[in-house]
Amino acid sequence: MNARIDPHPPGAALYLGLDLGSSRTKVALIDGAHRLRGHAVRKSGVDFAQTARACLDDALQMAGATRDDVAAAVATGYGRNNVAFVTEATRTEIGCLARGAYQAFPRAITVIDIGGQDNKVVKVDAAGRRQSFKMNRKCAAGTGAFLEEMAHRLDISLPQMDDHARQARDMVKLGSYCTVFSATEVLESIRAGRPVPDIVKGIYYSMVKRVLEMDALGEQVVMTGGVVAHNPYLVQMTAELIGRPVLTCEQPQFVGAIGAALHALDGGATDAAAEPREESA
């Protein structure tokens, strides 16, 4: 999906995808040729509907369009049932991630999505059909929430984490995947005088190892999600650990929203019953 936003032709139909995550709400607008016309992201906050409205207005402004230009819409994510003001058509996160990633890379792929509260590993075959998926519902370790907690403990901002990881000369390996215990280990490393970059690299390593233990990966791996978008060193580290290149979409944070928009273009019927059986990791 091309990241460049072209002017929207007056009167042309747009298709809306809303991805209402527990941490961030993302909106994507595409046209009939699958081109991205507008997008927006905000913290989900305590009112999914209000945040979705704000994101939709932002995306429409970027596209130079109005709500009358939206021909169909599909919602996905944790708060997908909170946007009846614009659509009642929903799709699961798994289906939208698979659709969005396959649009960018039409081949057999394994999609790794690192989200705010959970991680997903989705396998898609060469025809774009979802084969299986796993989620880590039981613990926030390895997610965006984990990274935020570690940044708080180190008293640095999230944007600084990636720069610190790249500056590391060594790596402090964390022995626990638990967020609480890992925070204790980070504090002990600080007290021991270990350099912050070495600690951050160890945090990244812990996240990647947790994801890689969720499921076996196919040959072609695609990483998506807001954490990936803002912490690209995670992609580099994953590639180093699996010994082959890792692909990313041009808009990693919006893959689910783009997938929802593509489903809207396709017709938008709810597909919950068609999903493969969920497995937790």
pLDDT at 250 over 80: yes
Terminal Cα distance for the chain, rounded: 30
Task: For residue 26, count other CB atoms closer than 10 A to its CB.
Answer: 28
Residue-averaged pLDDT of the chain: 88
SS3 214: coil
pLDDT at 273 over 70: no
What the block records as the tokens of 127 is 């025809």
Query: Which amino acid does the sequence have at 27?
Result: V
Give the residue from 61, 11, 68, 73 showing the smallest Cα distance to 37.
Answer: 61
Q: Give CA separation, 27 vs 19, 60, 241, in Å.
A: 6, 10, 32
Q: What is the pTM of this model?
A: 0.89
* Residue of higher predicted confidence among 143 and 119: 119
What's the mean pLDDT in 41-67? 96
Banded model confidence at residue 158, pLDDT cuts 50, 70, 90: confident
**Contact between 76 and 18 (Cβ < 8 Å):** yes
What the block records as the tokens of 229 is 């978008």
Fold classification of 144-208 (topology level): Nucleotidyltransferase; domain 5 (3.30.420)
What the block records as the tokens of 87 is 């659509």
Phi, psi of 232 (to 5 degrees): -65, -15
State whether the Cα torsion 6-9-13-19 is positive or negative: positive
pLDDT at 3 over 50: no
85 exposure class (CB count in 10 Å sphere: 0-12, 13-18, 19+): exposed
* Percentage of the residues of the chain whose pLDDT score is greater than 90: 70
Query: For the segment 136-155, what is each residue's pLDDT rounded down to a tens digit?
Result: 865 666 788 888 888 988 99
Predicted pLDDT of residue 190: 86
- C-alpha angle 136/141/147, rounded to 5°? 130
Give the residue from 203, 143, 210 showing the smallest Cα distance to 171.
Answer: 203
What the block records as the tokens of 200 is 């951050």
Predicted pLDDT of residue 277: 44
Phi, psi of 60 (to 5 degrees): -65, -40
Q: Give CA separation, 217 vs 34, 221, 236, in Å.
A: 28, 7, 16
Domain(s) labelled CATH 3.30.420.40 in the chain stretch across 14-95+254-280, 144-208
Predicted pLDDT of residue 281: 46
CATH number of 14-95+254-280: 3.30.420.40
Banded model confidence at residue 180, pLDDT cuts 50, 70, 90: low
Predicted pLDDT of residue 279: 45
Predicted pLDDT of residue 145: 85
Predicted pLDDT of residue 236: 96
pLDDT at 73 over 80: yes
- Residue 180 CA to its chain's centroid (Å): 23
Give the single-character DSSP code of 94.
H
What's the mean pLDDT in 81-93? 94
